[in-house]
Each structure stands twice: as C-alpha cells, then as structure tokens.
Amino acid sequence: MTDRLRIALAQLNPKVGDLVGNLALARKALADAQAVGADILMFSELFLTGYFPDDLLFKPKFIADAMGAARDLVANTAGTDVVVILPTIWVEKTGMHNAVLVAENGQITATRLKRELPNSDVFYEKRYFTAGPLADPVIIKGVPVGIPICEDIWHTSVCEHLAMRGAEIMLCPNGSPYWTNKQHVRKELVRARVAEDDVPMLYLNQVGGQDELVFDGASFAIEPGNKLVFQGKSFATDFIVSDWVRDDNGWTCASGEVRELTTTDEAPWLACVLGLRDYVLKNGFKQVVLGLSGGIDSAVVAAMAVDALGAENVHCIMLPYRYTSDASLKDAKDCAERLGVRYDVVSIGNPVDDALLELAPVFGDRAPDLAEENIQSRMRGVVLMAVSNKLGSMLLTTGNKSEMGVGYATIYGDMNGGYNPLKDMFKMEVYRLAAWRNGHVPGDCRGPAGEVIPQAIIDKAPSAELRPNQTDQDSLPPYPVLDAILKGIVEDELSIAEIVAMGHDQALVERIERLLNIAEYKRRQSAPGPKLTGKAFGLGRRYPITNGYKDRIIG
C-alpha cells in the first residue's frame, strides 16, 4: 500500500463514434501520464465512444468495435506503471452498460458499472443501458478507490456505499454538458458528497461540442473541509496532474493548480464559439458563410465565427433589396472590415422582381402581404445556399431564441443553414454579449480586440427590412417584454395567470403563447445550435407540433 499517488486527469475533446481518433487521443494521454510518472490516469465518461453515442448503441458492429478499441488501450498499459480508468460501453451477461474498465499491466483488473442512469432533460440512458449494482471500491496501488460515474454522485446512495466499504478517495468521470451556472451547480454537488462521506473527490469532465451540447471541462477536486485543491481549464482541453498524500486524517492534495473559472459573462460566448468550431470542424468543413445584414444578430454570429475559425475562414455576404437602408449597407461593410473577413455584396433585386412578375398571375389582385416579404428572405436563402454548395462552406443561420420562439423567421429563408450559434440566446442577451465582446477577447478566441461590432449596429432599432420603414416592434412587443414572457413560458413553465401576475398584459401573454405553439413546426426544421439554458428549443424542450392544449385564465 502506498501513501502517495500522482493522478492525471485527461480533460480531452473526443468525437462521438470516432473510435480510431479517440483511441489515438487516449494513447497520447497514456504516454503523457507515463512521462510525468502518474500512478493513475482517468478519462471522461464513455471516452472511447464519445458522449453521447445515441442510437449508434443499437448497432452491433459499433458495440463490437468499441469493445475492441477498449481492449487495445488496455493492452497498451503493458510495460507501464500507469493504472488506467477507462470509461466505455461494455457488454456483460446482464446487458450493455455504461462502464469503467480498470486496466493495469495490459489486463483488465476490474470493471465498474454505472448504477444511476439519467433519464431526464437531454439524457436518456435507460433507452440503451442496464443499471449496475452498488459496487465496492477498486484497489489501485493498494488504495481503495471509489469510482462513481457521473449521475451516480447525484444520488447519495452510491458514494455512501463506497465510503462505507472503505473508499479512501473518489474518482468520478463525467460527461456533463454546459448550461447557465452549471459549473457552480456541479461544485456544490461535489461539496455535498465530500462533506457527507468525508472522502476527497476528483471530478473529471470532457470538453468540446457535440451537435447541440457543449461540454465545458472545468474539472476539479474537493477535499474534506470544503477545500478546492485544483481547477482545470474551462472550454479547453487540459491535462491535469495532482499529487496526493495520505496521513492519519486521510488523503490530501500536495500539489494542484487552481485555474479561474470563466465568468458568467464570458461563458455563453465561449460555449457558442466552442460549439460552432467543433460542429464545423468535426463535420469536415473548414469555412463558413453567412448573410451579414447590418443587424445585431448577424454581426454577433460573424464575430463568433471569426473567434471560432479565424477571419480567413469566414465569408460574409450582404444581400440588399430595395428596402435595405443605406445605414445597413454601411454598417455591414464596417463590421466585415473590423473583423477582417471576406465581404461580398450580391443584390437580390432582379431575382425577387422576376419571381414576383412570374407569380403575378397566380397571386391575382390580392394585396401584398407576408408572401411577398418572404420571397425576399427565401431568395437570400437560395443565394447563400448556392455559395455554400459552390465554395464548400457551411452556411450559418442567425436567428435568436426570441424570434424563433414566436416564429418571427422565414422557413426556407433566413432559417436556412447548418448551424445557428444564437439558437438558445434571447435577443437581449445577444445585445449584452455584443457589448461585452467589444471590450474583451475571451479564451482562445481568434478574432481581433476592440469594437468588432460597430456601436451603430447595437444602437439601431432591429428590422428585417422587408418593407419600407419596418421595425421588429411593428409585429412584436419590445424585446425586454417579449424575452420576459418567453422565459416565463419556456424556461420556467409558468402558466399564463402566473405571468400576468408578474405585471404583463393578459392579451399579450395569450398572444405570445399562441405564437409559440404554432411556430413549433418551424423550430423542428431549424438548424442545431448550442444549448445554453435548461430549456433549449429542440434538445431541451420537446413539445408536440399538433397540440390542442390551450392555457387560459378561467373566471
């Protein structure tokens, strides 16, 4: 039995389904662990398959290949002094499990199976996995080590059992996605477990974007006495090495670096940038294209794209029509120049007018309305998709959560695109982040410092510019009011009566709820985007399209 342990945590960015690539990352981490003299190397939850594999887990060949990759890494531990804690899928007689393999000297020395399978919010592990039993600690280098897996620590029974069975230290691999305040929620949870069981816990989280989820890393360890002994990077890969010593009072950390967490101002920007970067690169693209209108949303997306991919990989196009103001033309060009991106102007005047001319016999003498306005938006979508197809760039769409909430977007028009960084961001948050980005260059962002989003764009009244002198407030309440009502309905699941009691007009609240419900079909066809809140449209909020329920105040 040893009284000293050097523990390495591999806070890495795996790609779902990329068994070869993830195995290569694991082998590199194993070599790094050996180089620093680590006794233990731990990977994040389901590392070899990536978290979460979804219905790949119904594919027998994928399961066989994943288990084969795990055995390959186990074999790589031969000839090293490193004990590897490898989370992966594993099939036993009881079924398929979200599991951990403990590997030493080329052999699997223990397996541990996740007991508490999450089945709410974005998690649905019961669809695939069988729950494991309450398990005893694993003896590593003579030390009883508890290995609760992610959700296991959200329930007192697993860690309590491990502590009662003699665990002296807890190593917890996780696949925990980011949303607002999540880093602090995790830390309070671990503090509670450590206080209850009087055993230190090392919490490892993965990093990276996976479709609509963003994993923020920020791995850490807590000792009894509520002591934070190390903190890893946020929204970036990290290789965290800490030294632990045992005395009569148990294990304490002798060396560990505490890095500052991202601020609540910085975190959503970094989440959008990381989600965008990984979605583009992991899907085989190198460049993006977007329509730059001179408005706040497209300017923020352009800045995020530059921060994610570099200015040389971002292409912005202004698509003016007769209603496009001179101010918008000026502001779009100004924004593109500040960001240093390629900027083109492609007029949609002739294509739109030709379409209206050809449609005149069909439209007859009906008065102009949304149909004519939407042709402009859809023509912009056609042009942008053509550029995407011809140049091989992924098209980004730029609608925010407020607009998508009430359907203030044109399906097959401005909703066209492969990814939407603003999908889970209300309009006022877009404004706030624009002002914040002008004063900061966060994290590993690649864009320039300074006022990259012209103040004129932040100050102007938002408009789709589909008819003369149009503003968003012609059709919508002021965005602070709209955001508050939508937050109440969508994120807080409040009734109309409860929202009216907060001081909002009843007729307006009922109108917003109706618009929210009838726009569900549009949102089902919208591009994915990073989940920033507990109730993101799509992955975090699943409502039926055909829905007869009406919330009404009675009496």
What string of pLDDT tens digits covers the 555 residues of the chain?
789 999 999 999 999 999 999 999 999 999 999 999 999 999 999 999 999 999 999 999 999 999 999 999 999 999 999 999 999 999 999 999 999 999 999 999 999 999 999 987 788 999 999 999 999 999 999 999 999 999 999 999 999 999 999 999 999 999 999 998 888 999 999 999 999 999 999 999 999 999 999 999 999 999 999 999 999 999 999 999 999 999 988 999 998 899 998 988 899 999 999 999 999 999 999 999 999 999 999 999 999 999 999 999 999 999 999 999 999 999 999 999 999 999 999 999 999 999 999 999 999 999 999 999 999 999 999 999 999 999 999 999 999 999 999 999 999 999 999 999 999 999 999 999 999 999 999 888 999 999 999 999 999 988 776 778 777 777 889 999 999 999 999 999 999 999 999 999 999 999 999 999 999 999 999 999 999 998 999 877 888 888 888 888 876
Token pair in block for residue 215: 């994993």
Fold of 4-253: Nitrilase/N-carbamoyl-D-aminoacid amidohydrolase (3.60.110)
Which residues does residue 244 pair with via DSSP β-bridges, in sequence order?
A: 5, 253
Numbered residues of the known binding site: 176, 182, 291-298, 374, 398, 403, 522
Q: How many CA atoms lie within 13 A of 92 on its CB side?
A: 17
Which pair of tokens denotes residue 382?
Answer: 């056609």
State the fold for domain 266-468.
Answer: Rossmann fold (3.40.50)
Q: What is the DSSP string of 389-409?
A: HHHTPEEB----HHHHHHT-S
Containing H/E element for 62? Answer: helix 60-76
Cα-based torsion angle of the residue sequence 503, 531, 422, 54 in order, rounded to the nearest 10 degrees = -140
Cβ atoms < 10 Å from Cβ of 294: 26
Q: How far is CA 305 from the centre of its chain?
A: 15
Strand partners, 92: 95
The residues facing 43 across adjacent strands are 10
The residues annotated as belonging to the active site are 45, 114, 150
Task: Locate the domains of the chain by residue range.
Answer: 4-253, 266-468
Binding residues for L-glutamine: 176, 182
Spatial distance between the Cα atoms of 308 and 386, rounded to a whole number of angstroms: 23
**Residues annotated in the binding site for deamido-NAD(+), as ranges?**
374, 403, 522
